[in-house]
Chain A
Amino acid sequence: MKKKHMDYFLFISVILISIFGIIMIYSASSIWAEFKYQDAFKYVKQQGLFFIIGILAMLFASKIDLEFLRKKANLILGICFILLVLVLIPGIGTVRNGSRSWFGIGGLGVQPSEFAKLGLIIFASKYLARNQKDMGDIKKGALPIFLVIGIFFVLIMLEPDFGTAMVMALTLIALIFASGLKISFFAKLGVLGLVGIVALIIAAPYRMARIVSFLNPWSDPLGSGYQIIQSLYAIGPGGLLGQGFLNSRQKHFYLPEPQTDFIFSIISEEFGFLGVLIVCGFFFFIFYRMLRIALRSNDLFSKYLAFGLASLLFIQAALNLAVVVGLIPVTGVTLPFFSYGGSSLLISMISVGLVLNVSRRT
């Protein structure tokens, strides 16, 4: 394998988007942080720390031996599995925002589900690369990996963390889709999913109300419609050019925890449609560069790994944006590089690092 430089376009855009993210965390969180901790910089300091660790982690990930990673894939997945089981045990895992998904370490927290996403992608890439020939055969090729995914899905749903479970499932489905599995299988999977949703609605009609309230948030403005209405009140008045940096009104205790899932609302409010185009442009460009690396890779494992990680970032971003603008119901997915959260940023940057690693050895 030839030694090459890593993809600097990808590297630089990730650094830029992360810096923009940190600036927006300051703008979005300062009011809330001042109120809660009497320290407007509380969140931005923590996120800044993770950003620096993230850069180191990204560089480290871009240099490690991918062959080593491939070999240890089973071990990594095993560790992730154990952690996911442990976190469900009260006393070990702590509850935040209604999910028992955290290991509290001092003031910081680690979410094993974040690492599980990574572990599962590495494992799946290895599995697909090894069983490429059998992927035509559903029983032999697809079922075992779906079983593994299913187990992780259930574990994360037990926390419960629907958003992360969805991101993980969709990413793995995209990965298996890329492996060349018959389209008809995915069609059946889609039909099955639809039947499942209908069955869930029939079983518990309140879910219908959820869907209705997503379609018209004003039907329950103080309950299930609250977040999306507050998000629309931020995005709408932003207009084409926005209210200006730091001038968001919705961050003044209207939009709850504006530095997390709904930070994109604040970006839209302060920078308007222009800001939206810039953010979407960044995600498009990063996704495009990552897919380019995947396409150029000669090694099947590396190709799957790069594509899987690209899909992970993009699906998570797209799900978050779709929620924030009201295209799909609220799922609780963070926006990579923007939403406040140490482990989320760390995982995103490690993911990019691994893709950069692939870009070196085409």
Chain B
Amino acid sequence: MVKNMFFSTIHERIRFIFIVSVIILIAIIIKVFYIQVFAYDKLSSLAESLWSRELPIKADRGEIVDRNGEVLATNITTVSLVVVPGQIDDAEAVARDLSDILGTDYQDMLKHVTKSTSIERVHPEGRGLDYDIAEKIDALGYDGVYLLKESKRYYPYGTVLSHVLGYVGIDNQGLSGIELYYDEYLTGADGAIKYFSDGKGNKLELTEVYEAPTSGITLELTIDIDLQLAIENELDNAVSKYNPEQAMILAMDPDTGEILAMASRPTFDSNNYQDYTTEIINRNLPIWMTYEPGSTFKIITLSAALEEQTINLFEDTFTDTGSINVDGSTIHCWKVGGHGTQTMLEVVENSCNPGFVKIGQTLGVETLMSYIDAYGFGDKTGIDLNGESTGILFDIDKMGPVELATTSFGQGISVTPIQQVRAVSAAINGGKLYTPYIVGAFLESETDSLIEKIEPEMTREVISEETSSLVRYALESVVANGSGKNAYIENYRVGGKTGTAQKVENGSYLDGNYILSFMGFLPADDPEFVVYVAIDNPKGVTQYGGVVSAPIARNVMLSAIDILDIEPRSDGMAKEYTWLDKKYSILPNVVGMSREEATKTLKNFKIEYSGDGDTVIYMSPNAGYYVAEGETIMLMLG
């Protein structure tokens, strides 16, 4: 075999090539293994993003409810139009039909329908569609035309509590108030319909994943909507009566810092916030407004002096001549000619400025300012709302006798209403300074079950319980005997303090332009409710807090008695009567008396009998209440 001599070389070369080939094949297999195992995650997610299309489903925004669960902000479902241009066959027909139904421009619609994007939201003309329009679009049955449910924020109470609630923008993002402050909680997580599409953008039937959206958290406010409606009503009345520049009412639970009601005038409607100026929307007066507090600030000075025992309320006296000279400056009392010689209690009752200058002097700059600091003035209170102001105090290093004197009765400094309510609450609740708050609990949106309850947060103890009870006593007597008479409520123990502050503009006082305020609370022995009313520059009325604001505060407290179920007290101070006032007397007990005896005992009242016995078995009102003389007393005989 001649040829055989070559075979060994050829076979060797063939085997060599075979080995090389096997190596190449192994290299290919290793590369595939690398791609399918090591690069699997990366390539899969890249490929997934190539294949997958997402139709977003907006999460429902969390609701906002009041402390009793009444809904204050909710969502109404609307329908939005979305097109997927890649799935639309006849763009012109689709654009024509859609623009016909929506009554919009054909060219605009054509732009939406032919836009080179995977998903196009027809904005804004396709947002918030009515049901019948959505139905018509649905009936067209075009591929690539989708209707997505969207929720729109709705505030059933309109202008009520609007500054607190705030409002949301077109994409349901919180833009002010609670809506902004708690936006993260309210927002929730969007869901989506995910599907895979082919290279031409058509939906692949085999794959569709529905990811449910998660609704936002429900916020339960500390607000009581009934009380809120009551103060809104009072403000509306005050506005129509006095036409003030601004007005506000703030009510708080002094034992916790829970805000029960707060409102401002002017106000706005959260549903139609676009119709209002940003000034109106942004000025949540109870936390934003800063001004000289005036006499309501005397509560702070009084409590400091009582705690430091630099005065004795009942035994120390002060003679007011109508003015007091401080370091060469003359400070006048509001009452021309002065109040004469008064006990310190009477100084408080009369809201006597020279008297408070004297009280301030007993404390000195350092001590008074340390209490003002401790009460939280000059700092934000930390309430869970945006837009809070800090106010301005005198620089302690630059305070002379005059600054001390004016600070003592609430002039020359500026504070916010919320700071005053917080501080006065501490002065009357036993001395505990709480951080005010407005969201009381986080609730699960579907079940309303509690996620977290917000506990009251005490910052510090400013004065002792004993001092606090003296403050309450003094303020109760302000209402019973002094400048706060107009806030007196029969059978309830009401404490309070009037305030009349002249407004400052560009460093000088404005003539005849006051902020009239009243700080009231009840029951005076164990306060459950504090309310602060401030009316800025009311027209056509005596510029005095006791005249304008005290009656408003009284009305609010009357509502609070009803709404918060505050028990009447029989051991309160009797009101001191002026010739203007009706005479009140304590109703004696006539139950068990004969008809004749009862008639004699109640000779100052009108009596209405019911029943046909001879013995009184029931009386209304009950014995022990203060009742104006001449009022009707119901007696049941049996």
Contact = CB atoms under 8 A, between A and B. Distances in A.
Interface of A: 31, 132, 174, 177-180, 232-240, 247, 249-250, 252-254, 268, 272-273, 276-277, 280, 283-284, 287-288, 291, 294-295, 300, 303, 307, 311, 314, 318, 321-322, 325-327
A177 B44 contact: no
Contact of A233 (B21, B24, B43): B43
Contacts of B28: 280, 318, 321-322, 325, 327
Given A233-B43, A233-B47, A236-B36, A179 B10 contact: yes
Most-contacted residue by chain A among B21, B29, B46 (CB, 10 A): B21
A291 B48 CA distance: 43
23 contacts: A177-B17, A178-B13, A180-B10, A180-B13, A235-B36, A236-B39, A236-B44, A237-B44, A239-B36, A239-B44, A247-B206, A249-B51, A249-B198, A252-B199, A276-B36, A287-B21, A303-B7, A318-B21, A322-B24, A322-B28, A325-B35, A326-B31, A327-B27
A239 B37 CA distance: 6
Interface string B196-214: 1011100010100000000
B14 interface: yes
Contacts of A283: 25
B609 interface: no
B17 A174 contact: yes
A178 B14 contact: yes
- Complex A-B, nearest 5 residue pairs according to Cβ-Cβ distance, in ascending order: A236-B43, A253-B199, A252-B198, A233-B47, A180-B9
Nearest to A295: B11
Interface of B: 3, 6-7, 9-11, 13-14, 17-18, 21-22, 24-25, 27-29, 31-33, 35-37, 39-40, 42-44, 46-48, 50-51, 196, 198-200, 204, 206
Given A179-B13, A287-B21, 8 more contacts: A31-B198, A233-B50, A235-B36, A236-B36, A249-B198, A280-B29, A300-B6, A318-B25
Most-contacted residue by chain B among A178, A236, A253, A272 (CB, 10 A): A236
B75 to A, nearest CB: 37
B25 A249 contact: no
Nearest to A276: B32
Contact of B3 (A178, A277, A300, A314): A300
Contacts of B39: 232, 236
A318 B10 contact: no
A314 B21 contact: yes
A354 to B, nearest CB: 17
B6 A240 contact: no
Contacts of A132: 3, 6
B36 A233 contact: no
B333 to A, nearest CB: 85
B22 A284 contact: yes
A277 to B, nearest CB: 7
A254 B197 CA distance: 10
Contacts of B44: 236-237, 239
Nearest to A132: B6
A233 B46 contact: yes
Contacts of A280: 25, 28-29
Given A236-B35, A236-B39, A277 B14 contact: no
A288 B43 CA distance: 34
